[in-house]
Amino acid sequence: MILLIAVAVGLISGLVRAKISGNHMRMVDVRYLWIVLVAYIPQFFTFYFLPTQNLIHDNWVPFILVTSQALLIIFVWINRKTEGFWLLGLGLLCNFTAIVLNGGLMPIMPETLHRMFPSGIDSALEIGKRVGLGKDILLIKEEITLWFLGDIFTLPPWMCYPLAFSFGDIFLSIGAFWLLFELGRPQKNPQEVSL
C-alpha cells in the first residue's frame, strides 16, 4: 500500500517536474524487466488472487515468498546504476533478511496487530502461525530475529486503513518515488527517448 502511494506520488511529481521544465518524461533504460513479472506472478496467486489463495498449501508459501524476493533482488542488482535502484535494493534486502531469518514469512508482533485493529483481532490467531492468507507470521518480539526489520509500523488511526509495514517497505517506497520523480528531470542528451 505505501509502495503504491509512493508510485502514484512519484509519477505525478515526475509529470509535474517535466511539465514545469518544458520537457517530456524521460525513458529509463531498465534491463530484464521480465524478472519482475516472473517474481510477481507467484505472489499474486499466493497472496492477492482469492480463487487461488486457499489452494496453495502453507508449506509452499515461504518458498514462494523467498524465491520471489530473491528474483527481485537480482533484478535490482542488474539495474543498480539507475536512479533510485540502490534504495529499492536496500528495501528488498531488509525485507529479504527479515523473511529468511524468520522462517520464510515477514514477522509481525501482536502489539502491531493490536495497533492495526484496536477494537480487537481474531482470537484464532496463534503465535508462530501465518496471519490469515498474508505474508506475515505472528511472533513475539523475543522470538523474532532482527525484529526491527519486521512489520513494526502502522498507518495513523485517522487513515482508517489497517496496514503494517517495515523499514524495507519505507526504503522501497522512497526508491520508487525517486525513480519516478527523476523521469521528469530535464534531458541531458539526445539519446534519451521521450514518452
* Domain spans in the chain, listed from the N-terminal domain onward: 2-182
Residues 6+ apart with CB under 8 A from 45: 52, 53, 56
What does 127-185 look like in DSSP terms, one character per residue? TTSB-TTSSEEE--GGG-TTGGGSB-EE--GGG----EE-HHHHHHHHHHHHHHHHTTS
Name the DSSP letter for residue 102.
T
- Residue 174 and residue 183: Cα distance in Å, rounded? 14
What is the model's pTM? 0.89
Per-residue confidence (pLDDT) for residue 194, from 0 to 100:
44
Confidence of residue 185 (pLDDT cuts 50, 70, 90): confident
Task: Say yes or no to pLDDT of 144 above 80.
Answer: yes
pLDDT-derived band of residue 147, with 50, 70 and 90 as boundaries? very high
Lowest mean pLDDT among 18-22, 152-156, 174-178: 18-22
Q: What percent of the chain has pLDDT over 70?
A: 94
Cβ 71 vs Cβ 35: under 8 Å = yes
- Residue 77: how many CB atoms within 10 A of its CB? 13
Predicted confidence at residue 123, as pLDDT, reads 59
Average pLDDT over the chain, rounded to an integer: 91
> In terms of Cα–Cα distance, which of 151, 170, 135 is closest to 64?
135
Range scoring the smallest mean pLDDT among 53-62, 93-102, 113-122: 113-122
Facing residues of 138 across strands?
A: 108
Residue 157 to residue 15: CA distance in whole angstroms: 31
Query: So what's the pLDDT on residue 1?
Result: 72
Q: Output the pLDDT for position 31.
A: 96
